[in-house]
Amino acid sequence: MRTKSKWSPGPGIKVQSVISSEQGDWVVSACGPESGICPDCRHQSRSRHGWSYRRLQDLPIQGNAVTVKLQLRRWRCTYRQCRRQTFTDRVPAIASPYARRTTRVAEMVGLLGHSTGGRPGERLMRRLGMSISDDTILRHLKRNAARIDDDPPARIVGIDDWSWRKSWRYGTIIADLERRKVLDILEDRSVVSVARWLKQHPSIEVVSRDRCGLYAQAAREGAPQASQVADRFHLMQNLRLAVEEQMSLSGRAAGRALLPDGNIEIDHDDRATRNQLPERSRRNQLRRAHQQSRKDVFKTVHALSTEGLS
Ligand SMILES: [Zn+2]
């Protein structure tokens, strides 16, 4: 199918055709401007030297892939004092130089890559009609991280695990918490690499990290001048675990409400003694209390069910 298009790719660029294949994919063919501006001397040229072609992945149409085929001219710079002999049209409104996808697709890759990671991002983008490998998504993130303007230098950073491949290979992600930008992604999760990175960034004043001793050690070695703080997520996780532990020891409040007093074997008032128990026996006691509590709830539910309650 061939249609007349109102697709506007950018100044000076003309759409020649929009074709839909039998598989439903779309190909937009467009041609570059009639004259070029030399990137060095900024003089206009109409002296054509040849052609160059670019193939860009664009946003999908109703889930179907869209490819933009750009025919661009290569120009001679005719300004005598300019050292550059030839140059190719640039299309900043559509894509960066050498990019294989349009700027708007690149933005989507960045957004999804940040929020989901490599593999889930790949699956999601394929479902949306944009086929991009997980490696490309991660490369894109890393390239963007390298481009972050380091002026003024970062002061407050967050450090956490980064999954290259879930349950298989982990790296480290470092983010500027003030600017909400990824600063770097390290290949591995080790004290050495994180400490080395921190040493290269002496401006760091605060390191927000998880509860893992690894990043604490790295921050001590690499940024002794910085304060270490636990990030909000891990504080909430701490709180949740503490509450769970307390609930288990107390016979789980929800279950106990159903049970007559005395069904729990743990002595609830003996907290002082319990806190003095060795860690292993304390864990065993917790486990037994938890099992007993579940059994009691199970029995009570069955008893109530036998009496005809829902
Ligand atoms: Zn020039």
Give the CATH number of the domain where residue 169 resides.
3.30.420.10
The pLDDT profile of the chain, 310 residues, written as one tens digit per residue, is 454 445 566 677 889 999 988 888 899 999 988 888 898 899 999 999 999 999 999 999 888 889 999 999 999 999 989 999 999 988 888 888 888 999 889 988 888 888 887 888 889 888 888 888 888 888 888 777 666 555 678 899 999 888 777 777 888 999 988 887 888 888 888 999 999 999 999 999 999 988 778 899 999 999 999 999 887 777 888 888 888 888 776 655 554 444 444 444 444 444 444 455 566 777 788 788 888 888 999 999 999 999 998 8
User: Does residue 25 contact residue 68 with C-beta atoms inside 8 Å?
Assistant: no
Q: Are residues 188 and 70 in the same domain?
A: no
For residue 262, what pLDDT is reported?
43
Q: Are residues 21 and 133 in the same domain?
A: yes
Distance 203 CA to ligand 1 centre (A): 41
Assigned domain for 256 exists: yes
Assigned domain for 237 exists: no
Neighbours of 10 (CB within 10 A): 13
Cα angle 94, 95, 101; round to 5:
110
User: Which residues keep their CB under 5 angstroms from ion ligand 1?
Assistant: 38, 40-41, 77, 79, 82, 84
Joined together, the tokens standing for residue 221 give 């070695």
* Residue ranges making up the domain that contains 197: 150-230
Q: Describe the crossing of helices 232-249 and 279-306 by its angle, rounded to 10 degrees.
A: 70
Distance 43 CA to ligand 1 centre (A): 6
Q: Alpha helices, DSSP H only, in the chain?
A: 103-116, 118-127, 134-147, 191-199, 213-222, 232-249, 253-256, 271-276, 279-306
pLDDT tens string 240-270 = 888 888 877 665 555 444 444 444 444 444 4
Q: Are residues 105 and 171 in the same domain?
A: no
What is the distance between the alpha carbons of residues 192 and 286, in angstroms, rounded to a whole number? 37
Distance 174 CA to ligand 1 centre (A): 41
User: Does residue 45 contact residue 31 with C-beta atoms inside 8 Å?
Assistant: no
pLDDT tens string 70-111 = 999 999 999 989 999 999 988 888 888 888 999 889 988 888
Report the C-alpha dihedral over residues 256, 257, 260, 262, rounded to 10 degrees.
30
Last residue of a domain, one of 109, 142, 175: 142
What is the distance between the alpha carbons of residues 123 and 132, in angstroms, rounded to a whole number? 9
Assigned domain for 241 exists: no
Helix (H, G, I), strand (E, B) or coil at 71: strand
Nearest to 58 by CA among 11, 14, 105: 105
Distance 14 CA to ligand 1 centre (A): 25
Amino acid found at 223: A
Counting the structural domains of the chain, the total is: 3
For residue 150, what pLDDT is reported?
53
Q: Are residues 252 and 213 in the same domain?
A: no
